[in-house]
Structure 1
Amino acid sequence: MKKWVLMLIIISLFFVSVLPATAAPKENRKWQDESVYLIMVDRFNNGDQSNDEDVEINNPEGYHGGDFQGVINQLDYIKDMGFTAVSLTPVFDNTAGGYHGYWVNDFYKTDEHFGSLDLFKKLVKEAHKRDMKVILEFEVNHVGADHDWLKDEEKKNWFRTDPVQEKGLPLLNQDNKEVKKYLINAAKWWIEETNIDGYQIQLLEDTSAAFLSEFVKEVKAVKEDFYLGGEAKNADVEQMTAFLENGGDSITDYTMAAELRELFSEPNQSFSPLFARLAQNETMYPEIDLIGTFIDNQHTVRFTSNMVEKNEHPGPRWKQALTFLFTTPGIPFVYYGSEIALNGGEEPDNRKQMNFRTDQEIVDYIKQIGSLRSDLPSLTRGKMDVLYEKDGMAVYKRVYNEETTLIAINNTTETKNVTLSAKELAADKELRGMLNNDLVRSDEDQYHITIDRDESEIYLLRDKTGINYSYFIALGAVLAAFFVFLRLVIKRSRK
């Protein structure tokens, strides 16, 4: 019996070894290779009910019980979808009611509703064990409305006196030397203490350029390859480019997100605005592959609400949008609940409780495209060229070194046929579909691609393949060995 088991294992390994390779492995992992799962801690998962103080699950502006343990418990779920990093909303101690993390009370403590500092350190360690990175949103612009600093006469210069405010919250005077020192020291302390991998900075439009320059320099000196992303919902181009020129890594692109929601919330919409935005980004930013791309987040309405308003089914709409997000230049950030088409309007309706017991349709699709994005360097590092675009059908390619991928998205209500020339791709090759196993061989130096309505395909350009005799021989050997093994097991069980 043991001999047959060993033989089965050996033949199986041989079978795997003759399978055709799909892509070259990605070397020297960089930030542009990451895909990020964005979590609002309180609304994600309740893993420890002992810290459920003030929890009101039916109150959209109350605590729902999400915590660090809840994130730890779902790290495998996140990794299985193909995400390589998690980004968390602020976890600092907040004033009462600050479920979202933006009413900071103490920058050196975790919020008691989420768990202890030691538990947060464990979260980071558990993520790193899974080869996942942790980004933390760091609030540099304001504190809570009733912060003790506001009552301290010696700190009255810590706050701005101009009328600009963020939702009624007191803005910090970042040009004040003491404020600057406090924020920078706190940011460095969290890196040294917890070993996190990056910060996301909110609302650059309200942030002092001089402060940001020093903040970036000091923080990046603490840990090699530390990531600094900037949120710029209303900032102008000068503010965004200044952040990058001063050492910031990435800008979160709200304009593209709006274009994405408009295009994919219903079929038969032109891709032209999106492609124009990508072309504009190439001229504005030094590294377009590091731009933070997303569809929705904690500050926007849920994408699902856009399609529901137009009586569209969420599944196909989400799949098409995610395909574009994962195959175009930038670091994709996917807001928790997107994989279950969570609905929601303006804040706080867009921050509903996550549900892990729902339809797996979009979850399974994210696993597919997430895996391809990790395996194919051209999808994260390749030059992008648009080959075809008309009324909701788009075809573009990404090229990196010797690897070429072709992405075809049919966001229309009918089957589409597109013919590409060898000049646009290569002569005498074939396109191997990685999502639906489609195969397109060049025919007289042309490639005839057919994509069904509401479907996408990611092709890998490669040499033409004939009949793979070794593949079928190995397959036959495995099947034969399996049936012999099964017969022996039955005989033994009867004895």
Structure 2
Amino acid sequence: MNLALKHILILFVLINVSCKRTLAEEQDATAPVTEIQNDIEKVEPPHWWIGFKNQDLQLLIKHPNIGKATAKINYAGVSLVKTHTADSPNYLFLDLEISETAKAGQFNITFQLKDDSELIQTYELKSREKSAEDYIGFNSSDAIYLITPDRFANANPENDEVKGLLQQGIDRTDGYARHGGDLQGITNHLDYIENLGFTAIWPCPVLINDMPKGSYHGYAMTDFYKVDPRFGTLEDYKKLASELDSRDMKLIMDQVANHCGLEHWWMKDLPFKDWVNYQENYEKNIDNWDNKTTITSNHRRTSNQDLYASKKDNEGMTDGWFVSSMPDLNQRNPFMAKYIIQNSIWWVETLGLGGIRQDTYPYPDKDFMSNWAGSIMAEYPNFSIVGEEWSYNPLLIAYWQDGHKNADGYDSNLKSTMDFAMQRTIVEALNEEESWDKGLIKMYEGLANDFVYASPKDIMVFPDNHDMSRIFTQLDGNITNTKMALSYLLMLPRIPQIYYGTEILMDDFDKPGDHGLIRTDFPGGWEGDTVNAFTGEGLSNDQKDMQLYLKTVLNYRKSSKAIHQGKTIHFAPINGIYVLARVTDNETVVHIINKNETTQDLDLSRFEELGLSGKSLSNIITKETMIWNSSLKLEGKGSTILTTKTL
């Protein structure tokens, strides 16, 4: 062997050894844990991800006497910054920093106890499945289908009852019992929902409500990281999200930051003395708590904005329990605040959400809610959050929307609020006889209030929801009025939400406002149902007609840039006729409401500014065409929707 070749071989060996050593060192720092250990009772969040803008993560550790332990982590890119004890010895909070260099993988957290024994918990950091910018929220191009999951469709009767839970049994004759609807039931009927023209669904909460009664509605959560097994599994939830994504549809998660259920696991051992509001009152009476104990509360939401509100009223609003079976969470506790924010982000990542609907938005601490929404939007700049503000005053609705200039300087970071004011206005306008200050003029002036909103098209409007009488009931069973209400709100510069069953005229006439009746089972969702709204079998002619009507309007709306983004122009009602138009350069949509029972000739010269003279327009319901000239014949009471697009 010549000398040069020998030197080359030696150099190759040295490089190979060096590379192996470097690779070994890297693997030692980030290699997956070969033995997964789960010695700890609870660790929340149960896992996390790399690559967030905010590199901080706080772990809640729950285990007997864990507060006396010393925690250690040895994983490249992850630093244990600080350990916090709680008032209860059974909690420990760990502040972690996950740097940009951290890699996905598993690592052990070692807890050294006072007796020198060790507990080991394996924790996982995951890679994010898509970029933050790819989380696209709902907007004015969407139409949202609201579902009460327990009442929509029962695809898996085997999960109707789960041993060990407090509420047992299925009773479809009882509006407040469980009926058996589940996540798979929604997934199985996505074809129906998509074909109707919806682009997003909002199911009421499906996290576990292990409560002795009323557990079906989902708003009394007893574990913020666990799907209620009567609705299915986390995999069922993920499957629903995946199926929606494959259809270019969005999943909106209903979340609750204000309260939990009285049977939440932490209520048996609260970590801090101020984990929930009025905690001392609760702990003094815990042995005799019967869900009827009075906790000081004040549901006057105006105290959030009121310049003259007393401290007592403010305290009652923010700290008071929503109801006595739903403890009010104290978001001023920094650990609670962090917990709620992280929980929301965990679900966004886990499900690939297309939005969050936040329940009872004005009830929690409003500064926290600004931080909560701001933290989510900072991570997901194209995301959407809508907050429930049940107020009929546009000033209060506007206060909570991001970008509104509030007198107190408050900025909510909340993209969307819910338009209860417009909902009530539409109902009143259609139910009332016409006069100078009643009827359609109310609808017109209600929309005229949009000047107060920072972004009207980002507000969510709806004819009804899971907490109020069905729109068909509110309109006294008048089918024509119901069609006018639906068509009008679907033309507005808004994000529309429709409650399941509206398309088949579901009602609560027997007991208006009764929640159990409002949330009636969707026909065809249970084996043996004699009526099936998914197929049309057994529906009345009126129900089929409404179903087709809504389907036609929604599917037109789906591709209408004018409705999604167009300029809005409306004309004050005259003689019981109200005209609204949505206009872009390439499309004009004209919506006409006629409350007269008789045929009317509408003089079109008043609408010259729409630039439609001599143009051909199509009726999106009848498909008939007309030339926009001097007048238009309106054949009695109802809505007319015309478009310049070719159908």
Q: State if a TM-score over 0.5 links the two structures.
A: yes
* Alpha-carbon distance in 1 for matches of 2:432, 2:152: 28
Task: Give the 3 Å change call, closer, same or farther, for CA 389–118 of structure 1 in structure 2.
Answer: same
Q: Does structure 2 retain, via aligned residues, the 8 Å contact 1:108–1:186?
A: yes
Aligned residue in 1 for 2:615: 429
TM-score, structure 2 as length reference: 0.63
Q: Which residue type is aligned with residue 283 of structure 1?
A: F
C-alpha distance after superposition, 1:188-245 (max 9, x if no partner): 1111111111100112220222111211122224445221001100497357524424
Q: Does structure 1 retain, via aligned residues, the 8 Å contact 2:433–2:439?
A: no
Aligned residue in 2 for 1:455: 638
Aligned residue in 2 for 1:337: 501
Pick from 168, 173, 190: which aligns with 2:347? Answer: 190
Structure 2 residue 425 is the aligned partner of structure 1 residue 259: yes
Task: Give the 3 Å change call, closer, same or farther, for CA 277–239 of structure 1 in structure 2.
Answer: closer
Aligned residue in 2 for 1:69: 184
Q: CA deviation at 1:165?
A: 2.4
Q: Does structure 1 retain, via aligned residues, the 8 Å contact 2:222–2:262?
A: no
Q: Does structure 1 retain, via aligned residues, the 8 Å contact 2:432–2:439?
A: no
SS of the counterpart of 1:34?
coil
Pick from 147, 165, 174: which aligns with 1:39? Answer: 147
* Alpha-carbon distance in 1 for matches of 2:608, 2:504: 41
Aligned residue in 1 for 2:88: none
Q: CA deviation at 1:99?
A: 0.4
Pick from 439, 444, 450: which aligns with 2:625? Answer: 439
Aligned residue in 1 for 2:529: none
Q: CA deviation at 1:173?
A: 0.9
Give the 5 Å matches for 1:225-236. Answer: 225-234=382-391
SS of the counterpart of 2:274?
helix
* Alpha-carbon distance in 2 for matches of 1:109, 1:298: 23
The range that moved more, 385-394 or 185-194, is 385-394
C-alpha distance after superposition, 1:128-152 (max 9, x if no partner): 1111101011011001123333332
Q: CA deviation at 1:389?
A: 1.3
Q: Does structure 1 retain, via aligned residues, the 8 Å contact 2:398–2:454?
A: no
Q: Which residue type is aligned with residue 158 of structure 2?
A: S
Task: Give the 3 Å change call, closer, same or farther, for CA 90–144 of structure 1 in structure 2.
Answer: same
Q: Sequence identity, in percent?
A: 29
Task: Give the 3 Å change call, closer, same or farther, for CA 191–29 of structure 1 in structure 2.
Answer: closer
SS of the counterpart of 2:603?
strand
* Alpha-carbon distance in 2 for matches of 1:266, 1:77: 35
SS of the counterpart of 1:259?
helix
The range that moved more, 122-131 or 210-219, is 210-219
Q: Does structure 2 retain, via aligned residues, the 8 Å contact 1:293–1:331?
A: yes
Give the 5 Å matches for 1:47-86. Answer: 47-53=155-161, 54-86=169-201
Structure 2 residue 333 is the aligned partner of structure 1 residue 176: yes
* Alpha-carbon distance in 2 for matches of 1:92, 1:40: 13
Pick from 363, 376, 400: which aligns with 2:584? Answer: 400
SS of the counterpart of 1:437?
coil
Task: Give the 3 Å change call, closer, same or farther, for CA 103–258 of structure 1 in structure 2.
Answer: same
Pick from 382, 392, 402: which aligns with 1:244? Answer: 402
SS of the counterpart of 1:369?
helix
SS of the counterpart of 1:108?
coil
* Alpha-carbon distance in 1 for matches of 2:398, 2:568: 23
Aligned residue in 2 for 1:273: 442
Aligned residue in 1 for 2:470: 302
* Alpha-carbon distance in 1 for matches of 2:137, 2:239: 24
Q: CA deviation at 1:461?
A: 3.4
C-alpha distance after superposition, 1:341-399 (max 9, x if no partner): 11122222211111142232111111110111112211121121113513542111111
C-alpha distance after superposition, 1:414-464 (max 9, x if no partner): 222211126232243233322223433244xx3x1122223322212379x
Give the 5 Å matches for 1:10-159. Answer: 31-53=139-161, 54-96=169-211, 97=213, 98-159=215-276
Task: Give the 3 Å change call, closer, same or farther, for CA 394–103 of structure 1 in structure 2.
Answer: same
Task: Give the 3 Å change call, closer, same or farther, for CA 154–371 of structure 1 in structure 2.
Answer: closer
Q: Does structure 1 retain, via aligned residues, the 8 Å contact 2:137–2:354?
A: no
Q: Which residue type is aligned with residue 377 of structure 2?
A: K
Q: Does structure 1 retain, via aligned residues, the 8 Å contact 2:615–2:627?
A: yes
Q: Which residue type is aligned with residue 548 of structure 2?
A: D
Structure 2 residue 509 is the aligned partner of structure 1 residue 352: no
SS of the counterpart of 1:225?
coil
SS of the counterpart of 1:33?
coil
Structure 2 residue 473 is the aligned partner of structure 1 residue 327: no
Q: Does structure 2 retain, via aligned residues, the 8 Å contact 1:51–1:114?
A: yes
* Alpha-carbon distance in 2 for matches of 1:213, 1:29: 18
The range that moved more, 176-185 or 398-407, is 398-407
Q: Does structure 2 retain, via aligned residues, the 8 Å contact 1:203–1:235?
A: no
Q: Does structure 2 retain, via aligned residues, the 8 Å contact 1:320–1:454?
A: no
Q: Which residue type is aligned with residue 634 of structure 2?
A: I
Aligned residue in 2 for 1:284: 452
C-alpha distance after superposition, 1:63-100 (max 9, x if no partner): 01110010001111000010000011111111233100
Gaps of 5+ in 1: 1-27, 464-495
Task: Give the 3 Å change call, closer, same or farther, for CA 74–171 of structure 1 in structure 2.
Answer: same
SS of the counterpart of 1:106?
coil
* Alpha-carbon distance in 2 for matches of 1:433, 1:362: 17
Task: Give the 3 Å change call, closer, same or farther, for CA 442–83 of structure 1 in structure 2.
Answer: closer
Task: Give the 3 Å change call, closer, same or farther, for CA 453–156 of structure 1 in structure 2.
Answer: farther
Q: Does structure 2 retain, via aligned residues, the 8 Å contact 1:266–1:317?
A: no
Q: Does structure 1 retain, via aligned residues, the 8 Å contact 2:147–2:201?
A: yes
Q: Does structure 1 retain, via aligned residues, the 8 Å contact 2:391–2:397?
A: no
Task: Give the 3 Å change call, closer, same or farther, for CA 178–379 of structure 1 in structure 2.
Answer: same
Structure 2 residue 324 is the aligned partner of structure 1 residue 160: no
SS of the counterpart of 1:157?
coil
Aligned residue in 1 for 2:480: 316
Larger radius of gyration: 2
Task: Give the 3 Å change call, closer, same or farther, for CA 350–400 of structure 1 in structure 2.
Answer: same
Task: Give the 3 Å change call, closer, same or farther, for CA 462–303 of structure 1 in structure 2.
Answer: closer
Task: Give the 3 Å change call, closer, same or farther, for CA 239–459 of structure 1 in structure 2.
Answer: closer
Bigger helix share: 1
The range that moved more, 321-330 or 354-363, is 354-363
* Alpha-carbon distance in 2 for matches of 1:432, 1:35: 22
Structure 2 residue 573 is the aligned partner of structure 1 residue 389: yes
SS of the counterpart of 2:223?
strand
Name which structure has the greater RCO, CA cutoff 8 Å, separation 6+.
1
SS of the counterpart of 1:109?
coil
Q: Which residue type is aligned with residue 475 of structure 2?
A: M
* Alpha-carbon distance in 1 for matches of 2:197, 2:553: 8
Aligned residue in 2 for 1:365: 549
SS of the counterpart of 1:158?
coil
Task: Give the 3 Å change call, closer, same or farther, for CA 131–106 of structure 1 in structure 2.
Answer: same
Q: Does structure 2 retain, via aligned residues, the 8 Å contact 1:41–1:67?
A: yes
